[in-house]
Amino acid sequence: MSIKDLLTEDMKQAMKDKESGKLRLSVIRMARANIKNIEIDEKRELNDDEVLAVLMKEVKMRQDSLEEFTKAGREELAEQAKQEIAILRKYLPEQLSDEELKALVEEAVAETGAAGPKDMGKVMAALMPKTKGRADGKRINTMVRELLK
């Protein structure tokens, strides 16, 4: 079952759940709308990898909002953002642990023969396809910087 089909099925279930599924329904509808808008703009169906990219972007936006809400002391909005992130994460692949990510970074450094910070672009280019959807780019970037010091 594709991610889009899973979103549709979960949306139907959230509608049946009435009160308990309101937030879930809202988040799924927003994600589906963003996917549909991109499909309309590009005049084609998105594949699962592209749908994953849209969902990752949704999570990233909510994480940024979460940080801002926390800074501003808006706990109720921060809690809602956390819940929305949890709902969206259900559709993303399992995130890499720090140890797994570090192993992938070390492997990419060895593959590219990176010697210092100036080779960061090469390492990131080799690493991003391997971590697609399983780690945040900011987290990857930080780990690569630490290893290339």
User: E strands along the chain, which residues?
Assistant: none
Phi/psi-derived region of residue 73, left when phi > 0, alpha when psi is between -120 and 50, beta in every other case: left
Taking alpha carbons only, the member of 90, 96, 128, 130 closest to residue 3 is 90
Give me the tens of pLDDT residue by residue for the chain, a chain 149 residues long: 899 999 999 999 999 988 777 999 999 999 999 999 999 999 999 998 899 989 999 999 999 999 999 999 999 999 999 999 999 999 988 888 889 999 999 998 888 888 888 888 888 988 888 888 788 888 898 998 888 87
Contacts (Cβ under 8 Å, ≥6 apart) of 83: 23
Give the pLDDT confidence score for residue 128 in this predicted structure: 87
